[in-house]
Amino acid sequence: MTENGSEAPTALEKQIIRQIEYYFGDANLKRDRFLQEQVKEDEGWVPLEIMIKFNRLKAMTEDYNIITTALEKSTNNLIEVNEDRDKIRRYQSKPLPQDTTEYRKALKERSIYCKGFPLDEELGKIQDFLDRFGETEHIYMRRDIEKKFKGSVFATYADVEMAKKFMKEDGLKYGENEVVKMFKEEYFLKKVEERKQKREEDKQKKLEEKDRKEKEAIEATKADFGEYDKGCIVHFSGADDQTSREDLKEFFADYGTVSWIDFTRGQTKGHIRFDKETPAAGVLEKALAANENKITVRGCDLETCVLEGDEEAEHWNTIHENMSMVRIKKQQGRKGKSGRGRNQRGGRGGYGGGSRDRVQYQGTKKVFKEDSDGEDEGVAEDMAVTKEETTGRKRSLEDDEQKTEETPAKQIKTTEAEAPAPQTS
Protein backbone atom coordinates (compact mmCIF):
# COMPACT_ATOMS: atom_id res chain seq x y z
CA MET A 1 0.00 0.00 0.00
CA THR A 2 1.13 3.56 -0.69
CA GLU A 3 0.89 6.51 1.69
CA ASN A 4 -2.48 7.53 0.24
CA GLY A 5 -3.90 4.07 0.90
CA SER A 6 -3.85 2.81 -2.68
CA GLU A 7 -2.20 -0.38 -3.80
CA ALA A 8 1.55 -0.39 -4.28
CA PRO A 9 2.55 0.20 -7.90
CA THR A 10 3.44 -2.74 -10.07
CA ALA A 11 6.81 -3.02 -11.80
CA LEU A 12 5.35 -1.48 -14.95
CA GLU A 13 3.70 1.31 -13.00
CA LYS A 14 7.00 2.10 -11.25
CA GLN A 15 8.63 2.46 -14.65
CA ILE A 16 5.85 4.75 -15.86
CA ILE A 17 6.03 6.90 -12.72
CA ARG A 18 9.74 7.26 -12.95
CA GLN A 19 9.72 8.01 -16.66
CA ILE A 20 7.09 10.74 -16.49
CA GLU A 21 8.52 12.26 -13.34
CA TYR A 22 11.81 12.44 -15.15
CA TYR A 23 10.21 14.29 -18.07
CA PHE A 24 8.80 16.89 -15.69
CA GLY A 25 11.72 16.81 -13.24
CA ASP A 26 14.22 19.60 -12.60
CA ALA A 27 17.04 18.07 -14.65
CA ASN A 28 15.06 17.51 -17.84
CA LEU A 29 12.40 20.21 -17.89
CA LYS A 30 14.99 22.99 -17.55
CA ARG A 31 16.52 21.91 -20.88
CA ASP A 32 13.66 20.30 -22.81
CA ARG A 33 12.41 23.08 -25.10
CA PHE A 34 9.67 20.98 -26.63
CA LEU A 35 8.13 20.13 -23.27
CA GLN A 36 8.61 23.71 -22.09
CA GLU A 37 6.49 24.92 -25.01
CA GLN A 38 3.80 22.37 -24.19
CA VAL A 39 3.45 23.41 -20.55
CA LYS A 40 3.01 27.05 -21.58
CA GLU A 41 -0.11 26.41 -23.64
CA ASP A 42 -2.67 25.24 -21.08
CA GLU A 43 -1.67 26.30 -17.56
CA GLY A 44 0.90 23.53 -17.47
CA TRP A 45 -1.40 20.73 -18.64
CA VAL A 46 0.03 18.43 -21.28
CA PRO A 47 -2.34 16.05 -23.13
CA LEU A 48 -1.54 12.37 -22.79
CA GLU A 49 -1.98 12.31 -26.54
CA ILE A 50 1.32 14.20 -26.67
CA MET A 51 3.02 12.26 -23.88
CA ILE A 52 2.52 8.82 -25.45
CA LYS A 53 4.52 9.95 -28.45
CA PHE A 54 7.62 10.07 -26.27
CA ASN A 55 9.52 6.93 -27.23
CA ARG A 56 10.30 5.38 -23.88
CA LEU A 57 6.83 5.98 -22.48
CA LYS A 58 5.26 4.73 -25.71
CA ALA A 59 7.31 1.54 -25.41
CA MET A 60 5.79 0.97 -21.96
CA THR A 61 2.16 1.68 -22.77
CA GLU A 62 -0.19 3.92 -24.73
CA ASP A 63 -3.13 3.26 -22.43
CA TYR A 64 -4.25 6.48 -20.70
CA ASN A 65 -5.79 4.59 -17.82
CA ILE A 66 -2.63 2.62 -17.05
CA ILE A 67 -0.59 5.85 -17.08
CA THR A 68 -2.94 7.86 -14.85
CA THR A 69 -3.46 4.97 -12.44
CA ALA A 70 0.30 4.64 -12.06
CA LEU A 71 0.77 8.37 -11.45
CA GLU A 72 -1.92 8.34 -8.75
CA LYS A 73 0.15 5.77 -6.87
CA SER A 74 3.26 7.96 -6.83
CA THR A 75 4.38 9.22 -3.44
CA ASN A 76 6.54 12.02 -4.82
CA ASN A 77 3.65 14.47 -5.33
CA LEU A 78 5.20 15.89 -8.48
CA ILE A 79 2.58 15.10 -11.15
CA GLU A 80 -1.19 15.65 -11.02
CA VAL A 81 -3.87 14.21 -13.29
CA ASN A 82 -6.84 16.28 -14.49
CA GLU A 83 -10.47 15.30 -13.88
CA ASP A 84 -10.95 13.88 -17.34
CA ARG A 85 -7.80 11.81 -16.88
CA ASP A 86 -6.44 12.80 -20.27
CA LYS A 87 -3.92 15.45 -19.21
CA ILE A 88 -1.10 15.70 -16.70
CA ARG A 89 1.10 18.48 -15.37
CA ARG A 90 3.73 19.25 -12.80
CA TYR A 91 2.18 20.60 -9.61
CA GLN A 92 2.23 24.38 -9.86
CA SER A 93 3.22 24.50 -6.21
CA LYS A 94 6.55 23.00 -7.29
CA PRO A 95 8.08 25.50 -9.72
CA LEU A 96 11.45 24.82 -11.30
CA PRO A 97 14.35 26.01 -9.11
CA GLN A 98 16.08 29.23 -10.11
CA ASP A 99 19.41 28.77 -11.84
CA THR A 100 21.40 30.42 -9.07
CA THR A 101 24.96 29.92 -7.84
CA GLU A 102 23.61 28.05 -4.83
CA TYR A 103 21.53 25.76 -7.03
CA ARG A 104 24.48 24.96 -9.27
CA LYS A 105 26.68 24.27 -6.27
CA ALA A 106 24.12 21.90 -4.76
CA LEU A 107 23.72 20.15 -8.11
CA LYS A 108 27.48 19.60 -8.42
CA GLU A 109 27.68 18.13 -4.93
CA ARG A 110 25.27 15.32 -5.84
CA SER A 111 26.43 14.68 -9.41
CA ILE A 112 28.90 11.89 -10.14
CA TYR A 113 30.90 10.40 -13.01
CA CYS A 114 31.12 6.63 -13.36
CA LYS A 115 32.97 4.46 -15.88
CA GLY A 116 33.23 0.72 -16.40
CA PHE A 117 30.00 -0.31 -18.12
CA PRO A 118 29.94 -2.57 -21.20
CA LEU A 119 29.57 -0.62 -24.43
CA ASP A 120 26.36 -2.47 -25.26
CA GLU A 121 24.77 -2.07 -21.80
CA GLU A 122 21.17 -0.91 -21.36
CA LEU A 123 20.16 2.13 -19.38
CA GLY A 124 17.80 0.19 -17.14
CA LYS A 125 20.54 -2.08 -15.84
CA ILE A 126 22.86 0.87 -15.18
CA GLN A 127 20.02 2.58 -13.34
CA ASP A 128 19.41 -0.47 -11.16
CA PHE A 129 23.12 -0.59 -10.34
CA LEU A 130 23.35 3.07 -9.32
CA ASP A 131 20.05 3.02 -7.44
CA ARG A 132 21.51 0.55 -4.98
CA PHE A 133 23.02 3.58 -3.25
CA GLY A 134 20.01 5.89 -3.47
CA GLU A 135 17.51 7.30 -5.92
CA THR A 136 19.02 8.83 -9.05
CA GLU A 137 17.25 11.79 -10.58
CA HIS A 138 19.12 11.67 -13.83
CA ILE A 139 21.51 9.32 -15.62
CA TYR A 140 23.20 10.34 -18.82
CA MET A 141 24.89 7.70 -20.96
CA ARG A 142 27.86 9.45 -22.54
CA ARG A 143 28.36 8.93 -26.27
CA ASP A 144 31.13 9.64 -28.76
CA ILE A 145 30.80 11.65 -31.94
CA GLU A 146 29.38 8.58 -33.71
CA LYS A 147 26.66 8.27 -31.03
CA LYS A 148 28.17 5.10 -29.59
CA PHE A 149 28.04 4.57 -25.83
CA LYS A 150 31.44 5.27 -24.26
CA GLY A 151 30.94 3.03 -21.22
CA SER A 152 30.60 5.97 -18.81
CA VAL A 153 27.75 8.01 -17.37
CA PHE A 154 26.98 11.20 -15.52
CA ALA A 155 24.40 10.70 -12.81
CA THR A 156 22.67 12.98 -10.32
CA TYR A 157 21.42 11.58 -7.03
CA ALA A 158 18.40 12.92 -5.19
CA ASP A 159 20.56 14.28 -2.38
CA VAL A 160 24.20 14.73 -1.40
CA GLU A 161 24.27 11.86 1.10
CA MET A 162 23.30 9.36 -1.59
CA ALA A 163 26.10 10.63 -3.82
CA LYS A 164 28.59 10.37 -0.95
CA LYS A 165 27.42 6.85 -0.18
CA PHE A 166 28.13 5.82 -3.74
CA MET A 167 31.54 7.50 -3.71
CA LYS A 168 32.55 5.82 -0.43
CA GLU A 169 31.95 2.32 -1.78
CA ASP A 170 35.35 0.63 -2.10
CA GLY A 171 36.26 -1.99 -4.69
CA LEU A 172 33.08 -1.40 -6.67
CA LYS A 173 32.63 -3.61 -9.72
CA TYR A 174 30.08 -3.85 -12.50
CA GLY A 175 30.16 -7.50 -13.43
CA GLU A 176 33.84 -8.22 -13.93
CA ASN A 177 34.74 -4.60 -14.66
CA GLU A 178 36.39 -2.29 -12.15
CA VAL A 179 34.31 0.86 -11.69
CA VAL A 180 36.04 4.22 -11.95
CA LYS A 181 34.08 6.87 -10.09
CA MET A 182 34.49 10.46 -9.00
CA PHE A 183 32.35 13.52 -8.45
CA LYS A 184 31.40 15.18 -11.70
CA GLU A 185 33.19 18.42 -10.82
CA GLU A 186 36.37 16.45 -10.06
CA TYR A 187 36.06 14.80 -13.46
CA PHE A 188 35.90 18.15 -15.25
CA LEU A 189 38.85 19.51 -13.27
CA LYS A 190 40.81 16.42 -14.23
CA LYS A 191 39.91 16.93 -17.87
CA VAL A 192 41.01 20.56 -17.72
CA GLU A 193 44.39 19.45 -16.39
CA GLU A 194 44.67 16.70 -19.01
CA ARG A 195 43.89 19.12 -21.80
CA LYS A 196 46.40 21.60 -20.42
CA GLN A 197 49.05 18.87 -20.32
CA LYS A 198 48.10 17.79 -23.84
CA ARG A 199 48.52 21.35 -25.11
CA GLU A 200 51.94 21.55 -23.47
CA GLU A 201 52.95 18.22 -25.00
CA ASP A 202 51.72 19.31 -28.43
CA LYS A 203 53.57 22.60 -28.05
CA GLN A 204 56.75 20.75 -27.14
CA LYS A 205 56.35 18.38 -30.09
CA LYS A 206 55.91 21.33 -32.44
CA LEU A 207 59.04 22.98 -31.06
CA GLU A 208 60.99 19.74 -31.43
CA GLU A 209 59.70 19.31 -34.97
CA LYS A 210 60.62 22.90 -35.76
CA ASP A 211 64.12 22.36 -34.36
CA ARG A 212 64.47 19.14 -36.34
CA LYS A 213 63.49 20.81 -39.61
CA GLU A 214 65.71 23.76 -38.82
CA LYS A 215 68.69 21.48 -38.18
CA GLU A 216 67.99 19.60 -41.40
CA ALA A 217 67.83 22.87 -43.31
CA ILE A 218 71.05 24.06 -41.68
CA GLU A 219 72.86 20.82 -42.49
CA ALA A 220 71.66 21.02 -46.08
CA THR A 221 72.78 24.65 -46.37
CA LYS A 222 76.13 24.02 -44.66
CA ALA A 223 77.07 21.72 -47.50
CA ASP A 224 77.17 24.77 -49.78
CA PHE A 225 80.13 26.22 -47.90
CA GLY A 226 82.46 23.33 -48.72
CA GLU A 227 85.77 22.76 -46.90
CA TYR A 228 86.99 25.39 -44.46
CA ASP A 229 90.36 27.09 -44.53
CA LYS A 230 92.61 25.60 -41.88
CA GLY A 231 94.98 27.52 -39.64
CA CYS A 232 93.20 30.87 -39.98
CA ILE A 233 91.65 31.34 -36.54
CA VAL A 234 93.24 32.74 -33.38
CA HIS A 235 91.68 32.32 -29.99
CA PHE A 236 92.48 35.03 -27.44
CA SER A 237 91.67 35.69 -23.77
CA GLY A 238 92.49 38.35 -21.20
CA ALA A 239 90.49 41.30 -22.63
CA ASP A 240 88.64 43.69 -20.34
CA ASP A 241 85.40 45.67 -20.62
CA GLN A 242 87.19 48.49 -22.46
CA THR A 243 88.49 46.29 -25.27
CA SER A 244 86.60 46.61 -28.56
CA ARG A 245 86.64 44.92 -31.95
CA GLU A 246 88.13 48.09 -33.42
CA ASP A 247 91.06 47.85 -30.98
CA LEU A 248 91.72 44.26 -31.99
CA LYS A 249 91.46 44.99 -35.70
CA GLU A 250 93.78 47.98 -35.42
CA PHE A 251 96.42 45.94 -33.64
CA PHE A 252 96.41 42.85 -35.89
CA ALA A 253 95.91 44.69 -39.20
CA ASP A 254 99.63 45.45 -39.24
CA TYR A 255 100.49 41.73 -39.40
CA GLY A 256 97.73 40.16 -41.51
CA THR A 257 94.37 40.59 -43.22
CA VAL A 258 91.57 40.39 -40.62
CA SER A 259 88.45 38.76 -42.11
CA TRP A 260 86.23 38.53 -39.03
CA ILE A 261 86.30 39.20 -35.30
CA ASP A 262 84.00 37.20 -33.04
CA PHE A 263 83.97 39.35 -29.94
CA THR A 264 81.60 41.64 -28.00
CA ARG A 265 82.71 44.39 -25.65
CA GLY A 266 82.44 43.20 -22.06
CA GLN A 267 83.62 39.70 -22.86
CA THR A 268 87.12 38.50 -21.91
CA LYS A 269 87.81 36.19 -24.83
CA GLY A 270 86.98 35.73 -28.49
CA HIS A 271 88.21 34.66 -31.93
CA ILE A 272 89.89 36.43 -34.82
CA ARG A 273 89.74 34.93 -38.32
CA PHE A 274 92.42 35.89 -40.82
CA ASP A 275 92.49 35.66 -44.58
CA LYS A 276 93.84 32.34 -45.89
CA GLU A 277 96.69 34.22 -47.50
CA THR A 278 97.93 35.30 -44.06
CA PRO A 279 97.77 32.17 -41.81
CA ALA A 280 97.17 32.81 -38.12
CA ALA A 281 100.45 31.24 -37.00
CA GLY A 282 102.42 33.67 -39.15
CA VAL A 283 100.41 36.62 -37.91
CA LEU A 284 101.09 35.74 -34.27
CA GLU A 285 104.76 35.19 -34.97
CA LYS A 286 105.10 38.65 -36.52
CA ALA A 287 103.05 40.32 -33.79
CA LEU A 288 105.09 38.75 -30.99
CA ALA A 289 108.38 39.57 -32.66
CA ALA A 290 107.38 43.21 -33.08
CA ASN A 291 106.10 43.67 -29.50
CA GLU A 292 108.71 42.12 -27.21
CA ASN A 293 106.99 38.73 -27.32
CA LYS A 294 103.74 40.20 -26.02
CA ILE A 295 100.39 40.97 -27.55
CA THR A 296 99.02 43.96 -25.70
CA VAL A 297 95.72 45.49 -26.83
CA ARG A 298 94.40 48.58 -25.03
CA GLY A 299 96.55 47.83 -21.99
CA CYS A 300 95.56 44.15 -21.77
CA ASP A 301 98.09 41.37 -22.29
CA LEU A 302 96.23 38.77 -24.33
CA GLU A 303 96.84 35.03 -24.25
CA THR A 304 96.62 33.70 -27.81
CA CYS A 305 96.71 30.40 -29.67
CA VAL A 306 95.89 29.10 -33.13
CA LEU A 307 92.87 26.76 -33.27
CA GLU A 308 93.72 23.28 -34.50
CA GLY A 309 92.12 19.86 -34.81
CA ASP A 310 88.72 19.30 -33.21
CA GLU A 311 88.60 22.81 -31.73
CA GLU A 312 89.10 24.33 -35.16
CA ALA A 313 86.52 22.00 -36.78
CA GLU A 314 83.95 22.76 -34.10
CA HIS A 315 84.48 26.51 -34.48
CA TRP A 316 84.04 26.35 -38.25
CA ASN A 317 80.95 24.20 -37.76
CA THR A 318 79.47 26.95 -35.57
CA ILE A 319 80.37 29.56 -38.17
CA HIS A 320 78.66 27.61 -40.95
CA GLU A 321 75.58 27.01 -38.78
CA ASN A 322 75.28 30.73 -38.13
CA MET A 323 75.72 31.55 -41.79
CA SER A 324 73.16 28.91 -42.75
CA MET A 325 70.66 30.31 -40.25
CA VAL A 326 71.09 33.82 -41.65
CA ARG A 327 70.50 32.52 -45.17
CA ILE A 328 67.39 30.56 -44.13
CA LYS A 329 65.92 33.55 -42.30
CA LYS A 330 66.43 35.73 -45.35
CA GLN A 331 64.69 33.16 -47.54
CA GLN A 332 61.78 32.95 -45.10
CA GLY A 333 61.58 36.74 -45.04
CA ARG A 334 61.29 36.89 -48.82
CA LYS A 335 58.53 34.29 -48.80
CA GLY A 336 56.65 36.20 -46.11
CA LYS A 337 56.84 39.45 -48.06
CA SER A 338 55.47 37.83 -51.19
CA GLY A 339 52.24 36.96 -49.38
CA ARG A 340 51.68 40.29 -47.67
CA GLY A 341 49.78 43.35 -48.64
CA ARG A 342 46.81 41.85 -50.38
CA ASN A 343 43.59 43.34 -49.15
CA GLN A 344 40.16 41.98 -49.93
CA ARG A 345 39.89 44.11 -53.04
CA GLY A 346 42.92 42.43 -54.51
CA GLY A 347 45.05 45.57 -54.11
CA ARG A 348 48.52 45.83 -52.69
CA GLY A 349 47.74 47.10 -49.22
CA GLY A 350 50.26 46.31 -46.48
CA TYR A 351 50.67 45.51 -42.81
CA GLY A 352 47.90 47.20 -40.90
CA GLY A 353 47.12 49.37 -43.90
CA GLY A 354 43.87 49.60 -45.77
CA SER A 355 41.71 49.18 -42.69
CA ARG A 356 38.92 50.94 -44.55
CA ASP A 357 38.91 47.99 -46.98
CA ARG A 358 38.55 45.45 -44.23
CA VAL A 359 35.37 43.41 -44.44
CA GLN A 360 33.87 42.51 -41.10
CA TYR A 361 30.91 40.23 -40.68
CA GLN A 362 28.12 41.91 -38.82
CA GLY A 363 24.97 40.18 -37.72
CA THR A 364 23.67 37.57 -35.35
CA LYS A 365 26.07 34.78 -34.67
CA LYS A 366 24.43 31.41 -34.20
CA VAL A 367 25.76 28.74 -31.91
CA PHE A 368 24.45 25.31 -32.79
CA LYS A 369 23.97 22.75 -30.10
CA GLU A 370 24.97 19.21 -30.87
CA ASP A 371 22.40 16.47 -30.48
CA SER A 372 24.51 13.79 -28.84
CA ASP A 373 21.78 11.34 -27.99
CA GLY A 374 22.14 9.50 -31.24
CA GLU A 375 18.51 9.60 -32.38
CA ASP A 376 16.49 12.42 -33.84
CA GLU A 377 12.85 11.59 -33.36
CA GLY A 378 11.57 14.71 -35.06
CA VAL A 379 11.61 16.82 -31.93
CA ALA A 380 9.76 20.07 -32.52
CA GLU A 381 12.42 22.30 -31.08
CA ASP A 382 14.82 24.86 -32.45
CA MET A 383 18.31 23.58 -31.82
CA ALA A 384 19.95 26.96 -32.58
CA VAL A 385 20.41 29.73 -30.04
CA THR A 386 21.59 33.23 -30.89
CA LYS A 387 24.62 34.82 -29.31
CA GLU A 388 22.35 37.18 -27.42
CA GLU A 389 20.73 34.22 -25.69
CA THR A 390 23.97 33.03 -24.16
CA THR A 391 25.05 34.14 -20.72
CA GLY A 392 28.12 35.96 -21.91
CA ARG A 393 30.42 34.20 -19.45
CA LYS A 394 33.59 32.53 -20.61
CA ARG A 395 32.91 28.99 -21.75
CA SER A 396 34.39 26.29 -19.56
CA LEU A 397 35.23 22.68 -20.19
CA GLU A 398 32.04 21.70 -18.39
CA ASP A 399 30.05 23.90 -20.79
CA ASP A 400 31.63 22.11 -23.72
CA GLU A 401 30.86 18.70 -22.23
CA GLN A 402 27.30 19.72 -21.46
CA LYS A 403 26.86 21.21 -24.91
CA THR A 404 28.01 18.10 -26.73
CA GLU A 405 26.66 15.47 -24.36
CA GLU A 406 23.70 16.79 -22.42
CA THR A 407 21.84 19.14 -24.74
CA PRO A 408 19.08 16.70 -25.74
CA ALA A 409 17.28 16.32 -22.43
CA LYS A 410 14.28 14.30 -23.40
CA GLN A 411 14.86 11.03 -21.62
CA ILE A 412 14.62 9.53 -18.21
CA LYS A 413 18.19 9.04 -17.28
CA THR A 414 18.84 7.97 -20.82
CA THR A 415 20.63 8.89 -23.96
CA GLU A 416 17.78 8.17 -26.38
CA ALA A 417 15.94 11.19 -27.78
CA GLU A 418 12.37 10.79 -26.60
CA ALA A 419 10.31 13.67 -27.88
CA PRO A 420 7.33 12.96 -30.12
CA ALA A 421 7.60 13.00 -33.85
CA PRO A 422 5.60 15.85 -35.41
CA GLN A 423 2.33 14.70 -36.93
CA THR A 424 -0.24 16.47 -39.04
CA SER A 425 -3.91 16.08 -38.48
79-88, 221-230, 391-400: the lowest-pLDDT one? 391-400
Instruction: Look at 257 and 328; give whichever has higher pLDDT.
Output: 257
Q: Is the pLDDT of residue 172 over 90?
A: yes
The CA-based dihedral angle spanning residues 36, 42, 47, 52, taken in that order and rounded to the nearest 10 degrees? -10
Q: Is the pLDDT of residue 407 over 60?
A: no
This prediction's pTM: 0.52
For the sheet with 87-90, list strands across it.
Answer: 46-47, 87-90, 79-81
Instruction: Look at 370 and 261; give whichever has higher pLDDT.
Output: 261
Q: How far apart are CA 388 and CA 390, in angstroms?
A: 6
Going by C-alpha positions, the residue among 389, 387, 399, 234 that lies closest to residue 312 is 234
So what's the pLDDT on residue 326?
77
Going by C-alpha positions, the residue among 79, 92, 33, 66 that lies closest to residue 380 is 33
Rounded to 5, what percent of the chain is helix, strand, coil?
40, 15, 40
- Per-residue pLDDT of 360-376, as tens digits, reads 444 444 433 333 333 33
Phi, psi of 329 (to 5 degrees): -65, -40
Most confident of 1-15, 23-37, 185-199: 185-199
3-state class of 177 per DSSP?
Answer: strand
Q: How far apart are CA 89 and CA 419, in angstroms?
A: 16
Neighbours of 190 (CB within 10 A): 13
- Per-residue pLDDT of 25-51, as tens digits, reads 888 888 889 999 999 989 999 999 999
The predicted model gives 168-197 an average pLDDT of 93
Q: Is the pLDDT of residue 167 over 90?
A: yes
So what's the pLDDT on residue 268?
92
Q: What angle do CA 7, 13, 14 make, to 5 degrees?
A: 95
So what's the pLDDT on residue 2?
54
Structural domains of the chain, ranges and CATH numbers in brackets = 11-90 (1.10.10.10), 233-307 (3.30.70.330)
136-145, 272-281, 413-422: the lowest-pLDDT one? 413-422
Q: Is the pLDDT of residue 186 over 60?
A: yes
Half-sphere exposure of 169 (CA within 13 A, CB side): 20
Q: Is the pLDDT of residue 353 over 50?
A: no
